[in-house]
Amino acid sequence: MSFNFVDLFSCGGGMSTGFAKNGHKSIGAVDLEVAKPSHGIGATFCNDTYERNLGLRPMSADLAVTGPDEVASHFGFKPGDVDVLISCAPCTGFSQKQSRNHVLDDGRNSLVARAAVFAEAWRPKYVVIENVKELLRGRHKHHFQGLHRGLTDLGYDVFAEIHDLKDFGLPQSRIRSLIVAKLGGAFHLDLPKAPLRTVRDAIGHLPPIAAGEPNADDPMHVCPSIKGHSLARMQAIPKDGGSWTDLTEEQAHLRIPSMNVEKPGSFPDVYGRLAWDKPAPTITRECSHPGNGRYSHPEQDRLLSVREMALLQGFPPDYFFEGSLSFKYRQIGDAVPPMIANMIADAIAADAEGRGAAPDQMRMAI
């Protein structure tokens, strides 16, 4: 069966692409397209990417103040038209990779609760949420607890678990909270396990490229140029999984200052190469620079291309990203992997058709 969905915080369309793959229809999407406070609205170009690939132009709006009636009016649908509500609020304020989050409660974290506001107005059969693991277990998990109470009061049964998405075939270790709420009945999200997929499995077939020069057959197979000292550092890092910690004392001049002041072994992934026969580490929104993580090609002296990064994130091989090169990378790092979204959509369709988990498998883990 097919169903209509609305995607809040739609970014570049990762979740929507996974749902649309099997014929489910996006009847609305909303994203403010703000990368950081200093950037203006529309800076990330993610709505352009969404429209190009999914054929619907998202509403550019702040969901902290924009309500269900405004969104429904903008797209011309009625509350009863929404079968599935997707609401993947920004994760930056929850992630423990941001040191300030150990103390401060980022104001954006309150956006998680907006899912209950829209669910109350539209009464979708299912509500789907993906976020970092800290949403369920971190210092600021009270935001999820408030959402849980709100959805429960509306008659939803809430399923919530933490999984490493590599267990389901994503060629990347990506630990995430997966949440599905069902109106008027229990739901169990039982995604099928898959053999481990590696970097080689995902990108080993792509042709080599030089840094800064796009592939003639695929404009997304492109990465930033790299020169001078940065290129020399990249060339010195061992192939197939090496990092800056492998630089010898004779190569100390290639280190950046922070490498000399950090404790030995600190942040080993920065300026690191991926290993061919392992899943990639988590791809984040900062993946546009080799100094932000283990984002360099296993063999070639360059950052992974946009296409390579997208394939590791589970995007289709023909997906097109709009905007500047840095924002293409950002859209990928911010996305919900479409292949995982597709599996969630399949699980919801099976449940709606009565093919869901047996009653003794139903459970809620918070």
Q: Which domain CATH number covers 47?
A: 3.40.50.150
The DSSP element (H or E) to which 128 belongs, if any, is strand 126-132
Give, as one character, the DSSP assignment of residue 79: G
In this prediction, residue 102 carries a pLDDT of 44
Measured distance CA(56)–CA(102) in Å, rounded: 38
The answer to whether residue 220 sits within a structural domain is no
The answer to whether residue 119 sits within a structural domain is yes
Q: Has residue 131 got a pLDDT over 60?
A: yes
What pLDDT digit, counting tens, does each position of 3-41 carry?
Answer: 999 999 999 999 999 999 989 999 999 999 987 666 667
Q: What backbone torsions phi and psi does residue 7 show, to the nearest 5 degrees?
A: -115, 105
What pLDDT digit, counting tens, does each position of 303-347 carry?
Answer: 999 999 999 999 999 999 999 999 999 999 999 999 999 999 999
Domain count, the chain: 1
**Between residues 37 and 278, which one has the greater pLDDT?**
278
The answer to whether residue 293 sits within a structural domain is no
The answer to whether residue 266 sits within a structural domain is no
Q: Which residues contact 178 (CB under 8 A, 6 or more apart)?
A: 129, 130, 160, 161, 162, 163, 189, 191, 344
The answer to whether residue 40 sits within a structural domain is yes
Nearest to 126 by CA among 3, 256, 282, 304: 3
Q: What is the percent of the chain with per-residue pLDDT over 70, rounded to a whole number?
A: 86
Q: Has residue 95 got a pLDDT over 70?
A: no
107 falls in which pLDDT band (50, 70, 90)? low
What pLDDT digit, counting tens, does each position of 166-210 carry?
Answer: 999 999 999 999 999 999 999 999 999 999 999 999 999 999 999
The answer to whether residue 8 sits within a structural domain is yes
- Which domain, by its residues, includes 154? 4-194+335-361
As annotated, the active-site residues are 91
pTM of the model: 0.90
Number of H helices, E strands in the chain: 12, 6
The answer to whether residue 34 sits within a structural domain is yes
How confident is the prediction for the chain on average, in pLDDT?
90
